[in-house]
A = this chain, B = another copy of it.
Amino acid sequence: MDRFEITYRLFADDQSDAEDRAANIALEDTVEIPRDVVPVGYIEDVVLGKVEAVEQEGEDSWLSRISYHIDAVGHELPQLLNVILGNASILKGVKAIAITANDDIKARFPGAQFGVDGLRKLTGRKSGGYVCPVIKPQGSSSERLAHLCYLTARAGADIVKEDHGLANQDAAPFRDRVKLAAEAVNLANRERANEGETTKSLYFANIGGHSDQVRDLAYYAQDAGAHGILLIPGLFGFDAMNRLAQDTDFNLPIMAHPSHLGPYVLSPDFGYGHGMLFGDLMRLAGADISVFPNHGGRFGFSVAECEEIVSRCRTSGGLGKAILPSPGGGMSIERLPDMKDLYGEDCVYLLGGSLLRYGDKIGDAIKQMRQALDG
């Protein structure tokens, strides 16, 4: 394929209106000039988006495939997003719902370093869902947070994830906190190994700082003994994540947090489809694990939306490596068996605030999580 394709859902009055809308998107996200002044030759033939199909889907909705040439993108992810849904993000009745990559996209945006298979190797867990407590709340001291890391890791957590609100506040500055937390998890891992366990806990440090410090902070976490990082693409940008994923000197898995991304998916009428944002784009941008709010928690995602996310994360036909979905947002141990039925084994099961009810017996909760997933 000479060009890659984006599928948009369009809301329109009729076929003619839908075709006009598609033609306008092809202009808007590439040359951004009226059709009659598009220069003939290279710009019209290559740079301009091309409407490949506009087919009615429902009573007032159409699916349109628009193809783009990599020349309209270049080598950088921000401009790829500009082409996919830059100015068109400001249009109602336009929703980007899927990407069909070509060899150009695959070569320039190869995706995750680790993915589903990589996480099995890193944790040593050959099967079963991943138990993932979230360490919080912000305002706690680094020592307190590190202690919770130790307790959950010691009890068998697969991933010990920092809360996305643990940034670089004075109560627990990033560098102090990450150093202590990594030491705590590595101590727990040594103790587990001494007892003959073949699995280990991976500590994911939340990158909290300025956007131009992301790489330095990620390197610091790596050097301090962290085993992964948590990053918020809705605040730092998708490319910040991708730059780490493609950095051959940075060798930790990346978990993407959905904070500040909600408006992109909450309307059926604009933005991205759930699977496109939390599946396709996370894979494209190098996430190994994509966190999203599970249905029935504090947020309003439907079962179908969650299933679409999971499908797009794990399908073998997607961009780069298959990655791990990670549902969270107000879950409890009681819900884990049902969640396991829905999401299966290649999934990171997040549990946060409710674990704090256990106080220093939080390790008991981790063991109950393990049992709930394995039972």
Task: Please give the residue numbers on chain A whose beta carbons come within 8 Å of chain B beta carbons, in ascending order.
Answer: 24, 28-34, 36-39, 42-43, 46-48, 71-79, 81-83, 85-92, 136-140, 163-165, 167-171, 208-212, 214-215, 232, 234-240, 243, 258-264, 266-267, 269-271, 293, 298-300, 329, 352-354, 356-357
Whether A75 contacts B168 in the complex (CB less than 8 A), given A211-B240, A352-B32, A356-B37, comes out as yes
Please give me the residue from chain B that is nearest to A144 by CB atom.
B39
Please provide the 6 A-B residue pairs with the shortest distance between their CB atoms, ordered closest to farther. Answer: A90-B262, A33-B353, A47-B139, A89-B262, A31-B137, A43-B139
CB distance from A42 to the nearest CB of B (A): 6
* Bound form: Cα–Cα A267–B265 in Å: 11
Q: How far does the alpha carbon of A74 sit from the alpha carbon of B34 in the complex, in Å?
A: 46
Q: Are B32's CB and A76's CB within 8 A? A: no
Chain B residues contacting A357 (CB-CB under 8 Å) are 34, 36-37
Contacts A91-B299, A164-B82, A261-B89; A46 near B353 (Cβ below 8 A): no
The answer to whether B86 touches A164 (Cβ under 8 A) is yes
- CB pair B137–A33 under 8 Å, yes or no, is yes
Partner of A167, one of B28, B79, B263, B267: B79
Q: How far is the CA of A210 from the CA of B74 in the complex (A)?
A: 11
Find out whether the CB atom of A78 lies under 8 angstroms from the CB atom of B138: no
CB neighbours of A243 from chain B (8 A): 210-212
Contact for A235 among B72, B78, B260, CB less than 8 A: B78
**A261 to B260 CA separation, bound complex (whole angstroms):** 11
Q: Is the CB of A31 within 8 A of B168?
A: no
Q: Return chain B residues, CB-CB under 8 Å to A354.
A: 34
- Write the nearest CB–CB distance from A231 to chain B, whole angstroms: 10
Residues of B within 8 A of A76 (CB): 167-168, 208-210
Is A74 a contact of B170 with CB atoms below 8 Å? yes
A92 vs B167: C-alpha distance when bound (angstroms):
25
Q: Provided the pairs A43-B140, A90-B261, A266-B270 are in contact, do residues A32 and B165 lie with their beta carbons within 8 angstroms? A: yes
Residue of B nearest to A354 (CB): B34
Which residues of the other chain, B, contact A261 by a CB distance below 8 angstroms? 89-90
Q: Which residues of B contact A238 (CB under 8 A)?
A: 235
Q: Which residues of B contact A43 (CB under 8 A)?
A: 137-140
Can you give 7 contacting A-B residue pairs, CB < 8 Å? A31-B138, A34-B357, A37-B357, A79-B208, A86-B235, A89-B259, A211-B237
CB distance from A233 to the nearest CB of B (A): 9
CB–CB A259/B87 < 8 A = yes
Known pairs A32-B353, A87-B259; A137 contacts B47 (CB<8 A): yes
Smallest Cβ-Cβ distance to A301: which chain B residue: B90
Of B38, B42, B87, B258, the contact of A90 (CB 8 Å cutoff): B258
Q: How far is the CB of A271 from chain B (nearest CB, A)?
A: 4
A311 to B164, CA, bound (A): 34
- Measured between C-beta atoms, what is the minimum distance from A100 to chain B in Å? 21
Task: Check B263–A263 contact: CB distance below 8 A.
Answer: yes
Q: Which single residue of chain B is at the shortest CB-CB distance from A134? A: B32
When distances are taken between beta carbons in the complex, the residues of chain B under 8 Å from A140 are 39, 43
Looking at the assembled complex, report how far the CB atom of A322 sits from the nearest CB atom of chain B, in whole angstroms.
24
Q: Is the CB of A85 within 8 A of B33?
A: no
Q: A173 to chain B: closest CB distance in Å?
A: 8
A34 touches B353 (CB 8 A): yes
Chain B residue contacts of A234, Cβ below 8 A: 89
